[in-house]
Amino acid sequence: MSNDRHYSPGDRLLLQIDSALRTLLPFSGQPERISPATGHEETSLDEESARHVAGLMRINHTGEVCAQALYQGQALTAKLPEVRKTMEKAADEEIDHLAWCEQRIRELGSRPSLLNPLFYGLSFGMGATAGLISDRLSLGFVAATEEQVCKHLDEHLEQIPAEDRRSRAILEQMRTDEEQHANHALDAGGLRFATPIKFGMTLLSKVMTKSTYRI
């Protein structure tokens, strides 16, 4: 039986604040799985390559910040308990990605994006709004978002040097997980978004990728 009935609105607000802090503060999220980079030796990259890979990993890290916020917002407003649990479980799995990306960014001598709080707030609002409208829309939004993430990961895997096995291992595992999240959302009854809507989401994602690559 769900324990949701034991949480007051105030309790839920505190849980959301805790989730936001664990997402945005450095090294706050504790992964359940060991980073896929473990076991791969560090490769010596020239300065330009290291800076470029760090920029790509920063984009992916911000993407995971957005995913956390999206899932938390949807879980807050989901109407069905099973949908809320699906969102919360996906958010927990995304913590792994968040921690792996941050660790890799630090290894490359860089830092996460300074814009993360802004994107967290925007994504949380979008997720909460989708959940208020309907669970099917909320699940469809997850599926469409994860499809966008998979496209970004494919593009980044093409750009990361083959010898940088640490970065590649992280992105390859993330690609597998994100595809599963998209499929689970559709299997749970999520709407399949029309092409024009996906095109709009692509344009919004480009704003995020262009800005967080350097900032």
Of all residues in the chain, the percent with pLDDT exceeding 70 is 75
What is the rounded CA–CA span in Å between residue 177 and residue 186?
15
- The per-residue pLDDT for range 87-128, each reduced to its tens digit, is 666 666 778 888 899 999 999 989 998 888 888 888 888 778
Q: Which of 97, 105, 95 is nearest to 23 (CA)?
A: 95
The residues spanned by each domain of the chain are 46-212
Q: Which residues are annotated as a binding site for Fe cation?
A: 64, 94, 97, 146, 178, 181
CB neighbourhood size of 167 (10 A): 28
Q: Is the separation of the CB atoms in 65 and 97 below 8 Å? A: no
List, as one string, the DSSP characters of 103-146: HHHHHTT----TTHHHHHHHHHHHHHHHHHH-HHHHHHHHHHHH
Mean pLDDT of the chain: 79
Local confidence band at 129 (pLDDT 50, 70, 90 cut-offs): confident
Helices (H), the chain: 9-24, 47-77, 81-107, 116-133, 135-159, 165-187, 195-212
Q: Is the separation of the CB atoms in 145 and 9 below 8 Å? A: no
Domain at 46-212: CATH code: 1.20.1260.10
Q: Which residues are annotated as a binding site?
A: 64, 94, 97, 146, 178, 181
